[in-house]
Amino acid sequence: MTIKLICLDADDTLWHNMRHFHETEDALIDMLRPFAQVDVTRERMIACEIRNLPLYGYGAKGFTLSMIETAVEVAGDRLSAGMIAGILAAGRALLAHPVLLFDGVQDTLERLAHIAPLVLVTKGDLLHQESKLAASGLGELFSGIEIVSDKKADTFRALFSRMNIDPQEAVMAGDSMRSDILPALEAGAWAAFIPQEGAWVHESAAAPSDHPCFTQLQRLADLPDWITTID
């Protein structure tokens, strides 16, 4: 079957992302060292993020609110206005971090665009994701941009329906098993998992066992050759 649509994740698939979140989290942990051990603060932060996802969604703004909430839990009444200001400054820096593409991404997207139209399917804060895409210089290579609150099978089904594409004619590639791979497979598409170091624990999930439409690749540059094997 000929592939007629290629869907791509953005963060940690096209450009570095989690490294900036980890650096910001480390800054928070340093601020809170007088009040708790490192492991305790980190566990509190992870739990707070997961708890707040239904309220704030994904992205740097919700992450910043979770940092403040974690600081309140850890430091209590000892949390000063200056520390809150420091957390907010760290959050602003996270929103303004430079967009650093993975090696070879531009060339790979150009190769992919000659195979089928490209659609960016990413989740997070609308304004932040739009600004990162603009800074990346990759926008003109995409035929469509989908910035969603979360990625589920229905997200992909709706996309394929709008584009009049049979799911078996579509490929999704990304670094998150939970958000990129499993929902796309459930929707009936092909899926290529491209793991990256430092992935958020919330995005981990067991890989599908012997699924005919699934593969794991070492890098995005391997995606065009895999797609040709589908054709």
The residues spanned by each domain of the chain are 5-16+100-230, 18-95
pLDDT at 205: 76
Rounded-to-integer distance, Cα 99 and Cα 166, Å: 33
Q: What DSSP state is assigned to residue 167? A: G
Q: Is it true that domain 18-95 has CATH number 1.10.150.240? A: yes
CATH numeric code, 5-16+100-230: 3.40.50.1000
Rounded-to-integer distance, Cα 89 and Cα 228, Å: 47
pLDDT at 185: 97
Cα dihedral 157, 162, 167, 171 in deg (nearest 10): -100
pLDDT at 231: 62
List the helix and strand counts (H, then E) for the chain.
9, 6
Look up the pTM and report it.
0.91
pLDDT tens over the chain, length 231 residues: 689 999 999 999 999 998 999 999 999 999 999 999 999 999 999 999 999 999 998 899 999 999 999 999 999 999 999 999 999 999 999 999 999 999 999 999 999 999 999 999 999 888 999 999 999 999 999 999 999 989 999 999 999 999 999 999 999 999 999 999 999 999 999 999 999 886 677 777 788 888 999 999 999 999 999 999 996
What's the token pair of residue 72?
């309140």
Burial of 188 (0-12, 13-18, 19+ CB in 10 A): middle
Runs of H (alpha helix) within the chain: 18-31, 38-56, 60-75, 81-95, 105-113, 126-136, 153-162, 182-186, 223-230
pLDDT at 1: 64
Cβ(168)–Cβ(230) under 8 Å?
A: no
